[in-house]
Amino acid sequence: MSGLAQSYVHGASARPLIGETLGALLDRIAAAAPDSPALVVRHQDIRWNYRQLRARADDLAAGLIALGLKPGERIGIWSPNNAEWVLTQFATAKAGLILVNINPAYRVHEFDHVMNKVGCKALILSAGFKGNDYIASLRSLAPELDRAAPGQLKAPRLPQLEIVIRLGAEKTPGALNFTDIAAPASKAQLAELAALEGTLQFDDPINIQFTSGTTGAPKGATLTHHNILNNGFFIGEAMRLTSADRLCIPVPYYHCFGMVLGNLACVTHGACMVSPSEGFDPLAVLETVQAERCTGLHGVATMFIAILGHPEFARFDLTSLRTGIMAGAPCPVEVMRNVVARMHMSEVTIAYGMTETSPVSFQSACDDPLERRVTTVGRIQPHIEVKIVDAEGRVVPPGVAGELLTRGYCVMRGYWGDEEGTAKAIDGAGFMHTGDLATIDPEGYCNIVGRLKDVVIRGGENIYPREVEEFLYTHPAIADVQTFGVPDPHYGEQLCAWIKLRDGAVLNEGEVVAFCKASIAHYKAPRYVRFVEDFPMTVTGKAQKFIMREKMIEELGLVAEKTA
């Protein structure tokens, strides 16, 4: 891939794409190594081998079919990480159902939107998570649940929803219990399941993941067996996974990071999925890696920062670690170096992608030089094409920034029920417009510069927040930083930095500005600096810059420019 003439790369590979459904994959892996460990869920004290995982998935799939659910119908899951989530992922695929992932942080308004947008006929939910009462939210939209016969809900505000299945032993009026649905299936039921599986096609949609996209209400990216199974496989290949690996997965299953980069990367290679806790807890990760001798660990940059900064970090033996993925948000260079040096993750990789592309399109290799792994997101994944284009849609030369466009097996079927949104996102040539600004160097390595919408234009000068953040990370007092633009009557926009200091560190606004002006162009130095304890974050660890921007506009009494 050396000596690119323009910013276009394609992942040529001798490894063909896999033409299987998720159910067929699980059956094949379980038949080849039935006694190999498949799933460890520490907080539930669960340990299943591949024979047990497959049998339990078959039982649940048969139970869902027995409820009258048909291929193509949608079933939501609203729950933190647990064994039931993993079972549901494979059982719904085996039954031909479309699993709708509901963000554990959603509240009533978002839950309402998701359920009605895709018309879920069934819903699996836990009691709640982190003070968010899921059953109360459901009741607020469907008070009829309390008077309904289980499986026969009729609620005007959720007109498609008929079947509610709750996790746990407690009973809820109008709801079925998961353990009853997942009870051992009869021979006749298993025969019916096998016959159904034989009719399923790998291009069938099986998953809807909601993503905020660029504007407006969350959009439902519709993904197929082919999309996520192959992406999981090639992600695992880049990590050099084998059946001997044990991957610690503290990222949420509802997101591609958990269910594809985690679960499917493991299952496609017969490796073991290890869940440390319902939600991210740095101490639980440290305890799990040591106790389970995990060889891999996934996380976003903020998770690794929390793990490295935990006061008990030094007492844990992490020498079993080899690989893992840092993704989901820009990965600071200094954090990456510490992960390699202090966590023994010599083969850690960086991955880049988006939900709409299943998700990974670029990933670094285990044997890439560390400098490449800490300064780029690697090279193109097999069987995927990417080009970088300017505002007119023309491919730019290597090293020139432009919008990253992705094409190939990984691109979603579309946004559910949104033809207009799909047409805006996927052009006539089949390229997904990511909205990300990137460069590709002559050797094919990609660097994400920022978001098209995040670029700060100060007096005609383009400032890329990612570049300034990477520079500020080199200051010994700074633990984490986010930069973004705020409106300015003279320059149009000015740069603002929110900074988290290291424990015990002291720094003031003037010192931050002076540090920048000594080493980078003066216009890139932040006009405003705020020292904070935390950033507003999504569940997957992405900083919500729009919230920071709104707070600064209010604090400074600025007038936000109008957007289309």
Q: Encode pLDDT of 415-461 as tens digits.
A: 999 999 999 999 999 999 999 999 999 999 999 887 777 878 787 67
- In this prediction the pTM is 0.87
For 120, the token pair is: 């879920």
Is the model's pLDDT at 214 over the cut of 70? no
Q: Please say whether the beta carbons of 268 and 232 come within 8 A.
A: yes
More confident residue, 249 or 337: 249
Topology annotation, domain 455-556: GMP Synthetase; Chain A, domain 3 (3.30.300)
Per the DSSP assignment, residues forming a β-bridge with 49 are 37
Q: What is the pLDDT of residue 427?
A: 97
Q: What is the pLDDT of residue 560?
A: 63
Q: Please say whether the beta carbons of 175 and 164 come within 8 A.
A: yes
Mean pLDDT of 195-209: 98
Is the model's pLDDT at 211 over the cut of 90? no
Is the model's pLDDT at 321 over the cut of 80? yes
Residue 231 to residue 310: CA distance in whole angstroms? 33
Confidence of residue 564 (pLDDT cuts 50, 70, 90): very low
pLDDT over 70 percentage in the chain: 96
Q: What is the pLDDT of residue 300?
A: 85
pLDDT digits (tens, 9 = 90+) for 252-276: 999 999 999 999 999 999 999 999 9
Mean pLDDT of 325-349: 87
What spatial distance separates the first Cα and last Cα of the chain, rounded to whole Å? 40
User: Which range has the worst mean pLDDT, 234-243, 273-282, 365-374?
Assistant: 365-374
Q: What is the pLDDT of residue 543?
A: 85
Helix-helix angle 83-94:50-66, to 10 degrees: 60
Residue 372 to residue 117: CA distance in whole angstroms? 42
Q: Pick the closest to residue 16 from 266, 226, 225 (CA basis).
A: 226
Is the model's pLDDT at 159 over the cut of 80? yes
Is the model's pLDDT at 562 over the cut of 80? no
CB atoms within 10 A of CB 55: 17
Residue 433 to residue 559: CA distance in whole angstroms? 30
Mean pLDDT of 343-354: 95
Q: What is the pLDDT of residue 461?
A: 75
Is residue 564 classed as helix, strand or coil in its secondary structure?
coil
Q: Where are the beta strands (DSSP E) in 245-401?
A: 246-248, 272-275, 296-299, 323-326, 347-353, 360-363, 379-380, 384-389
Please name the residues in contact with 192: beta carbons below 8 A apart, sequence gap of 6 or more: 62, 65
Is the model's pLDDT at 118 over the cut of 90? yes
Q: What is the pLDDT of residue 329?
A: 63
Confidence of residue 347 (pLDDT cuts 50, 70, 90): very high
pLDDT digits (tens, 9 = 90+) for 357-403: 999 999 999 999 888 888 899 999 999 999 999 989 999 999 999 99
Q: What is the pLDDT of residue 448?
A: 87
Is residue 533 classed as helix, strand or coil in its secondary structure?
coil
pLDDT over 90 percentage in the chain: 82
In the chain, residues under CATH classification 3.30.300.30 are: 455-556
In the chain, residues under CATH classification 3.40.50.980 are: 24-31+46-208
pLDDT digits (tens, 9 = 90+) for 22-78: 999 999 999 999 999 999 999 999 999 999 999 999 999 999 999 999 999 999 999
Q: What is the pLDDT of residue 539?
A: 67
| Helices of type H across 253-331 | 256, 265-267, 282-292, 301-308
Q: What is the pLDDT of residue 126?
A: 98
Q: What is the pLDDT of residue 213?
A: 42
Residue 544 to residue 482: CA distance in whole angstroms? 9
User: Which range has the worst mean pLDDT, 175-179, 217-221, 341-345, 378-382?
Assistant: 217-221
Domain 24-31+46-208 has CATH 3.40.630.30: no
Is the model's pLDDT at 206 over the cut of 80? yes
Q: What is the pLDDT of residue 454?
A: 84
Mean pLDDT of the chain: 93
Q: What is the pLDDT of residue 102?
A: 95
Q: What is the pLDDT of residue 110?
A: 86
Residue 167 to residue 78: CA distance in whole angstroms? 10
Confidence of residue 328 (pLDDT cuts 50, 70, 90): low
Is the model's pLDDT at 552 over the cut of 70? yes
Q: What is the pLDDT of residue 429?
A: 98
